Amino acid sequence: PPRIKNGARLAMHQCRCQSRPRMNANATPHRFTPSAPLRGTIAVPGDKSISHRSLILGAIAVGETHVTGLLEGEDVLATAAAMRAMGADVERLGDGEWRVHGVGIGGLLQPDSAIDCGNSGTSARLLMGLVASHGITTSFVGDASLSKRPMGRVIEPLSLMGASFTASPGGRFPLMLEGAHPAVPITYRLPMPSAQVKSAVLLAGLNTPGITTVIEPVPTRDHSERMLRGFGAQIEVAEEDGARVIRLSGQTDLQPQDIVVPGDPSSAAFFMVAATLVEGSDLTIRNVGMNPTRAGLVGVLRQMGANIEEVDAREVGGEPVADLRVRHAALTGIEVDPSVAPSMIDEFPVLFVAAALAQGTTVTRGLEELRVKESDRLATMAAALEAVGARVEEREDGLTIHGTGGEPLRGSANARVKTHLDHRIAMSMAVAGLASRDGVEVDDTSPIATSFPNFMELLDGATR
Ligand code: S3P
């Protein structure tokens, strides 16, 4: 109805003013210096992807979902706030322990103000999918980094399902979404390997009559499919003509669950590489998610000569998990098989650091998607590594890195490396600092809180 539309336009106008791209006023620079060996046992926080999904599915199940090990980083807290704003009862009971009382499929309410996704691409894409099949009109906003990232990839399929969008130029945030109710089921073939796009369409499909189908020519992380099955959704996954085909039957109730979130392999990655690079290290990282759609880095590091042992491989809450014992080892450069990229897409920044200290050359290809993450991770890492003495060539789809053969990187006595509001760049360059001669000064460590709030504490503890 026009009245809602006008109200929505007003909200859009207001959010535009609030979210004009700004630099981080609270930038926290930090100098990472050559490190003592990493030793002992640590546990990294819960998996970010699984944490977002447990709050979202909990919020639309019928009854009470209980989550332990939830990642309490800013990204996941943005999703929690959004689910609350749309009527779910989301409560923190203790450290990583949360209770979500769901409203049932189709029960979400119109939020009073814009949904603020902060720095979080996952909140943005998944929540747009969720809202797209509800009679909800709302605006979505985010920080300067998120406001540069492409949303056309979800706007396209969700428009086919009937939702309408008024986006900022280039299909970006801030944007206004008017959901479709009822939405139309679609069959959508993913034009790029993206678990966020896949999940957006499946979440929209939950409140859509009929069967919503997503075809994945290249498999991506499958946490949504696993968790939807756990919640009792009618979902089938088949292999057809070399592609994964996911069919979801909409508008059936979800049953609340007890969810145990495993440790995030993308957070463990920084410690895997740090312990590999720093001589004398022997570090055990407990309870790391080893879902094959996420564990690509372990295989690639082993191919380069890393010493990573999986101890006590087990299954927790429908996800494979293991403790990883990582000892220092000399690395050799390799050509990284582009087909492993989706299974380690967030780990390339820290792999580039490992490559910068390997013997010989490492070549990576097929990484165009890295250009649209929290920053352009090819350009940002090439510049950051060069600033600390690494030899790097940037190509359109990857980096070629000539390693030092184990010699520490020069580091930088007076230059600050730029992280562009990207948590994984900050943590990767922290690891580079540990393996440097003069240390590495990172311009802003505050974005680390989006995914790994106790990173500094764990690093201090492991190198003490
Ligand atoms: C995520 C998917 C990936 C990843 C992101 C989390 C998810 O993004 O980079 O950190 O939880 O679905 P894309 O799906 O855009 O590749």
How many angstroms is it from 194 CA to the middle of ligand 1? 6
- The arithmetic mean of pLDDT across residues 175-193, rounded, is 98
- Residue 377 has phi, psi (to 5 degrees) of -70, -20
Residue 4 has pLDDT above 50, yes or no: no
Question: Distance between CA 309 and CA 312 in Å, rounded?
Answer: 10
Whose CA is closest to atom 10 on ligand 1?
Answer: 346
For residue 23, the model assigns a pLDDT of 57
What's the token pair of residue 322? 């293991």
From the CB of residue 407, how many other CB atoms can be counted at a distance below 10 Å?
Answer: 12
Question: Distance between CA 102 and CA 98 in Å, rounded?
Answer: 13
- The arithmetic mean of pLDDT across residues 9-19, rounded, is 37
For residue 3, the model assigns a pLDDT of 28
For residue 149, the model assigns a pLDDT of 98
- The arithmetic mean of pLDDT across residues 329-351, rounded, is 98
Whose CA is closest to atom 13 on ligand 1?
Answer: 194
Model confidence at 109, pLDDT cuts 50, 70, 90, reads very high
Question: Distance between CA 203 and CA 250 in Å, rounded?
Answer: 9
How many angstroms is it from 346 CA to the middle of ligand 1? 8
Choose which residue among 196, 198, 291, 297 to substitute to test ligand 1 binding: the one with the highest number of ligand atoms within 8 A of its C-beta: 196
Q: b/e per residue, 427-436, with b = 16+ CB within 10 A?
A: bbbbbbbbbb
Atom of ligand 1 nearest to the CA of 193: 16
Are 329 and 302 in contact, with CB atoms under 8 Å apart?
Answer: no
| Average pLDDT for the chain | 94
For residue 183, the model assigns a pLDDT of 98
Choose which residue among 345, 370, 376 to substitute to test ligand 1 binding: the one with the highest number of ligand atoms within 8 A of its C-beta: 345
Question: Distance between CA 146 and CA 366 in Å, rounded?
Answer: 23
- Residue positions annotated with a catalytic role: 346
Residue type, 40: G
Residue 1 has pLDDT above 60, yes or no: no
DSSP-derived secondary structure for 288-333 = EE--TTT-HHHHHHHHTT-EEEEEEEEEETTEEEEEEEEE----B-
Rg of the chain on CA atoms, in Å: 22
Residue 144 has pLDDT above 60, yes or no: yes
Residue 371 has pLDDT above 90, yes or no: yes
How many angstroms is it from 282 CA to the middle of ligand 1? 30
Q: Specify the pTM.
A: 0.95
199-245 per-position pLDDT tens digit: 999 999 999 999 999 999 999 999 999 999 999 999 999 999 999 99
Choose which residue among 76, 194, 267, 450 to substitute to test ligand 1 binding: the one with the highest number of ligand atoms within 8 A of its C-beta: 194
Residue 15 has pLDDT above 60, yes or no: no
Output the CA torsion sign for 42, 44, 46, 50.
Answer: negative
Whose CA is closest to atom 5 on ligand 1?
Answer: 122
Residue 17 has pLDDT above 90, yes or no: no
300-327 per-position pLDDT tens digit: 999 999 999 999 999 988 899 999 999 9
For residue 272, the model assigns a pLDDT of 98
Coil vs helix vs strand at 187 = strand
- The arithmetic mean of pLDDT across residues 50-70, rounded, is 98
Atom of ligand 1 nearest to the CA of 194: 14
Burial class (CB in 10 A: 0-12, 13-18, 19+), 170: exposed
DSSP bridge pairs for 401:
362, 392
Q: Which residue has the higher pLDDT, 246 or 10?
A: 246
- Of 1-10, 143-152, 443-452, minimum mean pLDDT range: 1-10
How many angstroms is it from 195 CA to the middle of ligand 1? 6
Choose which residue among 74, 122, 261 to substitute to test ligand 1 binding: the one with the highest number of ligand atoms within 8 A of its C-beta: 122
Residue type, 46: G
Q: b/e per residue, 327-365, with b = 16+ CB within 10 A?
A: bbbbbbbbebeeebbbbbbbbbbbbbbbbbbbeebbebb
How many angstroms is it from 140 CA to the middle of ligand 1? 18
How many angstroms is it from 197 CA to the middle of ligand 1? 9
Q: Which residue has the higher pLDDT, 11 or 339?
A: 339
Atom of ligand 1 nearest to the CA of 49: 11
64-107 per-position pLDDT tens digit: 999 999 999 999 999 999 999 999 999 999 999 999 999 999 99
Smallest CA-to-CA distance from 346 within 454, 268, 404 is with 268
Are 270 and 455 in contact, with CB atoms under 8 Å apart?
Answer: yes
Residue 22 has pLDDT above 60, yes or no: no
Atom of ligand 1 nearest to the CA of 195: 14
Are 118 and 143 in contact, with CB atoms under 8 Å apart?
Answer: yes
| Pocket lined around ligand 1, Cβ cut-off 6 Å | 49, 122, 194-196, 199, 221, 345-346, 369
How many angstroms is it from 201 CA to the middle of ligand 1? 14
Model confidence at 24, pLDDT cuts 50, 70, 90, reads confident
386-432 per-position pLDDT tens digit: 999 999 999 999 999 999 999 999 999 888 999 999 999 999 999 99
Atom of ligand 1 nearest to the CA of 346: 9
How many angstroms is it from 125 CA to the middle of ligand 1? 9
Coil vs helix vs strand at 355 = helix
Whose CA is closest to atom 9 on ligand 1?
Answer: 346
Atom of ligand 1 nearest to the CA of 196: 14
Are 394 and 368 in contact, with CB atoms under 8 Å apart?
Answer: no
Cα angle value 347/352/353 (rounded, 5°): 105
Measured in whole angstroms, the distance separating CA 156 from the mean position of its chain's CA atoms is 21
Atom of ligand 1 nearest to the CA of 52: 11
Smallest CA-to-CA distance from 201 within 141, 137, 245, 257 is with 245
Residue 135 has pLDDT above 50, yes or no: yes
Question: Distance between CA 350 and CA 359 in Å, rounded?
Answer: 16
For residue 25, the model assigns a pLDDT of 74
How many angstroms is it from 375 CA to the middle of ligand 1? 13
